[in-house]
Structure 1
Amino acid sequence: MIDLIPLHFAHHIAGVEADGYVSGEEWLQHLPGLLRDLLAEWELEPIGRSMSGHCSVVVPVRLLGPGRGSVGVAGDAVLKVSWPHPEAATEALALQTWNGHGAARLVRADPSRFALLLERLDTRDLSSVDVDEACRVIGQLLTTLRRPPHPRVPRLVDYAARQADELRTAPSVIPRRYLDQAAALARELVARPPAEERLLHTDLHYANVLGGRRSPWLAIDPKPMVGDPAFEVAPALWNRAEELGTGSQVRWSLRRRLEIICEHAGIDEGRARAWTIVREADNALEVAGDPTARDRISLAVMIIKAMND
């Protein structure tokens, strides 16, 4: 069973500190038994090499018992088991709400064990698709995923209130004026709420959109929140950063991505720029203690500048 856990993933997760639940090292000790139990209880047969994300193991499986029809004639699916942390705690709720519309279909879930059985998608994603077309796809998916708020999903206004306080008192890992601006914007965006709040994916970037069999593109791996749809745009700006160009081209590339997504998702560009500033200041704070994160902090500054110009 240990073969179902990629070695690079085991090495990474073993060094992760607890975030509301257990440490990565403690969870890893129980993971082989957890996978064994889930495969047996849900009548699943592993049929391929396991994959992994930042915090989860994904095992290609075939359903041997009931439910085969829900994932196609072959009964292929994937078993996803995540290291317990707050962002993963409500993933099943979001997938249930979308019910396969714009996102991977949820077949079965055990939230107490952070385990999901999902339809199997292709391995191709938007990372190698022309970036303008990829942004159009993301904008269209954001429209499809727009659903009423779920009462058990964390609220964006609470995140914004925490960030306003943290940014205001944070050390100057990026220019102080940007931290102060981000803190002020977080408060202002909450004080001027959008016309409607919706269930948000919050991490819809190019690698989190996979090719599907019943639909050309489907979203995976949500980090659900409820709030302003304009919060959704930023991940498509900071990903594929190597394609932004240099000099004045960087601003043009970032603003073009933002404009395409906002046009196809019906999102206000001004609010999208403002939330991007807040999120990038937050990203810079997150990696501030990492001596290898200088490039990520520089990217945050570039994006904030582009959103201001």
Structure 2
Amino acid sequence: MDSAARPDAGGPFEPPRRLVRALAETHGDAGGEWLRALPELVRDTVSRWELEPERVLTPGGRSSLVVLVRRADGTPAALKLLAPGARGAHEHAALARWDGWGAVRMLAAAEGALLLERLRHEVSLSSLPEAKAQLEAADTVRKLWVDPGEDHPFESVAERSRRAAEALRAARTQPWAEAVAPLIDEALDTREELTASAAERAVLLHGRFRQGKVLSAERVPWLTVGPRPVVGERAYDLARLVRDRLEDLVASPGGAAAARRRVTKLADSLEVDRDRVRGWTRFRATCAGVRALGAGRRQEGELLLEFATWP
């Protein structure tokens, strides 16, 4: 195996391109500094935990590097190194709270690093037929909705969505956003209504739950990975799931109706208010679409904003 795939080999080491692009967009110089230090960071962490690296997982994520490894006793595992600002402590706390229930099991943790049980990263719910995938996704996300515990470190849905709303307001002043200003205003109004009226008991949420975040596993069929944990109402956690397989939805002549059916099925199966699922879906899709437009990803942004008008 070549040195690019074996980060302990002492030769050139290239992180996945997706990670490099994402950090350049979101972290700027700080992301570049972390990437330059990454080979040494991998070697130090591997040595400290007595791990044998196998390969870097590609295409990987947008805020972390995952290296498939084996522990000293030969047990397969996955080493996850988190970029600065990736809220690794919060992911650590959420995984500890779930303790393997519906989520990948954490084997060890240090600042900026997590050692996780090995899952079948090449097989996610996205590989299943749509109806089956949504059933399994609903069953998985239900397990994650637990009490966050006293003195938990997680931010609230109100806090996270407030930052997203501030970014929307800032984007609205840009010339490129003029055409989507009405959609931004509607999303901001929707967020105000949702945060002002939330009544159900707040639970621990995954934060960015979708089919691609649920992987095949050994001890149970499916486990979720990569949370960005937050505490709040369950409807928030379904918003990203509703827009899974977006390109297929948009390409379908019945895409809008299919999106509405998704909202209904998910809300009914999980006993969550349909209107609140619909509202958070619109808000989060608008935020993602405007963010993509601002980053120059025009096609992605237009798809997301078209979707935001459907549910």
Q: TM (normalized to structure 2)?
A: 0.86
- Go from structure 1 to structure 2 and tell me whether the alpha carbon gap of 1:209 and 1:11 turns closer, same or farther (over 3 Å shift): closer
Per the alignment, residue 131 of structure 2 pairs with 132
Count of residues in correspondence between the two structures: 296
Cα shift readout 1:49-106 (whole Å, capped 9, x = no counterpart):
5442222221121111xxx5xxxxx511111112122444411111111100000000
Per the alignment, residue 180 of structure 2 pairs with 175
Cα shift readout 1:233-258 (whole Å, capped 9, x = no counterpart):
12223331222154650112212222
Per the alignment, residue 163 of structure 2 pairs with 162
Per the alignment, residue 46 of structure 2 pairs with 39
Asked whether the 8 Å contact 2:289–2:301 carries over to 1, the reply is: yes
**Segment drifting more, 17-26 vs 97-106:** 17-26
In structure 2, C-alpha distance between the alignment counterparts of 1:183 and 1:245, rounded to whole Å: 24
Following superposition, the deviation at residue 260 of structure 1 comes to: 2.7
**Segment drifting more, 261-270 vs 210-219:** 261-270
Per the alignment, residue 117 of structure 2 pairs with 119
Q: Which amino acid aligns with 2:71?
A: L
Following superposition, the deviation at residue 18 of structure 1 comes to: 8.7
Asked whether the 8 Å contact 1:16–1:24 carries over to 2, the reply is: yes
SS of 1:175 mapped into structure 2:
helix
Which one of the candidate residues 294, 300, 309 is aligned to 2:298?
A: 294
Q: Which amino acid aligns with 1:154?
A: E
Asked whether the 8 Å contact 2:125–2:137 carries over to 1, the reply is: no
Per the alignment, residue 104 of structure 2 pairs with 104
Per the alignment, residue 71 of structure 1 pairs with none
In structure 1, C-alpha distance between the alignment counterparts of 2:114 and 2:190, rounded to whole Å: 36
Q: Percent of aligned pairs with the same residue?
A: 29
Asked whether the 8 Å contact 1:76–1:119 carries over to 2, the reply is: yes
Q: Which amino acid aligns with 1:120?
A: R
In structure 1, C-alpha distance between the alignment counterparts of 2:201 and 2:167, rounded to whole Å: 26
Following superposition, the deviation at residue 289 of structure 1 comes to: 2.4
- Go from structure 1 to structure 2 and tell me whether the alpha carbon gap of 1:11 and 1:164 turns closer, same or farther (over 3 Å shift): closer
In structure 2, C-alpha distance between the alignment counterparts of 1:33 and 1:100, rounded to whole Å: 30
1:266 correspondence with 2:242: no
Following superposition, the deviation at residue 173 of structure 1 comes to: 5.4
Where does structure 2 lack aligned partners over 5 or more consecutive residues? 8-12
SS of 1:253 mapped into structure 2:
helix
In structure 1, C-alpha distance between the alignment counterparts of 2:220 and 2:136, rounded to whole Å: 12
Q: Which amino acid aligns with 2:107?
A: V
In structure 2, C-alpha distance between the alignment counterparts of 1:261 and 1:11, rounded to whole Å: 31
Per the alignment, residue 37 of structure 2 pairs with 30
Q: Which amino acid aligns with 2:23?
A: V
Q: TM (normalized to structure 1)?
A: 0.86
